[in-house]
Amino acid sequence: MKRDLLLILVITLLSSWTWVIFSINIFVYLALFLLSFLTFIFLAGHHLLLPPKILKVIFLVALIFISAYSMLVSFDRQLFSTSKLQSVQIKDRKEFYASELGSLYRNKYGIYYFDKVRPSVNKYINNIAALVDINGLFLIGFGENQLQTRFPIFFLPFMVIGLFIFLSKINKQAILIISFIFLTTGFLNTENSLGPLLIYPIVVSSIGMGFIKLFNLRL
């Protein structure tokens, strides 16, 4: 268990994203570390001194804490409103919809759906994209100076291997948690320094698993 802890710790410390999170809120980092560690334990099939039910409760509490924090700090205020540029675009598109869709658009529900609902849904879906954006996690700089990537690129092969292991071990509970992560992230502005915070534990634990698998380590 000590070595599991150390591995996860090293991975988090080598990530620039961790330091940004740490500087914003240390408790958020601790919760993310806990989630990463517990996810890793699950993947590695290791056992801790605490019973599984307690671990699950701890996991859920940490997850809810992170989600609530993200919603408070990073809620996408543009989700249900439109910027000036978007308003111009919506206005232009009214004519296109009217020409092509006819009465399907030109009614109360059609106009509401295309002018209000669809733009919000598209933004929601685009927010989710950040969870699976390899560019954003490993290739593109983030934060104020845009110089560092969230994770160093040499972690990527480990993450890929770890992800395969993650997928092979996935169960119903994991699917529920991942669904929760995706659905929640849709409401968040992921372009700030915190980014798609909820994917952090999955990425870190996958990197850890990939490391173990690649070097055939036994912990």
Q: Candidates 26, 88, 134, 183: give the one binding another protein (CB under 8 A).
A: 134
Query: Would you say 188 and 75 are in contact if contact means Cβ atoms under 8 Å apart?
Result: yes
* Contact between 167 and another protein per CB under 8 A: yes
CA distance 209 to 159: 8
At 194, which amino acid appears? Answer: L
At 138, which amino acid appears? Answer: F
CA distance 6 to 217: 14
CA distance 191 to 194: 8
Q: Considering CB under 8 A, how many residues would be counted as binding another protein?
A: 27
CA distance 180 to 79: 18
CA distance 56 to 65: 14
* Contact between 83 and another protein per CB under 8 A: no
CA distance 205 to 44: 9
Q: Which of residues 1-20 bind another protein (CB under 8 A)?
A: none
Q: Candidates 43, 128, 197, 209: give the one binding another protein (CB under 8 A).
A: 128
* Contact between 122 and another protein per CB under 8 A: yes
* Contact between 144 and another protein per CB under 8 A: no
Q: Candidates 27, 75, 80, 96: give the one binding another protein (CB under 8 A).
A: 96
Q: What separation, in Å, do the N-terminal and C-terminal C-alpha atoms of the chain show?
A: 8
* Contact between 155 and another protein per CB under 8 A: no
CA distance 219 to 86: 53
Residue positions counted in the chain: 219
Question: Quick one: 48 or 174, whose CB is closer to another protein?
Answer: 174
Question: Quick one: 92 or 144, whose CB is closer to another protein?
Answer: 92
Question: Quick one: 55 or 78, whose CB is closer to another protein?
Answer: 78
Question: Quick one: 33 or 151, whose CB is closer to another protein?
Answer: 151
CA distance 71 to 4: 30
* Contact between 126 and another protein per CB under 8 A: yes
Question: Quick one: 11 or 130, whose CB is closer to another protein?
Answer: 130
* Contact between 86 and another protein per CB under 8 A: no
* Contact between 176 and another protein per CB under 8 A: no
**Residue numbers at the binding site for another protein (CB under 8 A):** 92-93, 95-97, 100-101, 118, 122, 125-126, 128-130, 132-136, 138-139, 153, 156, 164, 167-168, 170
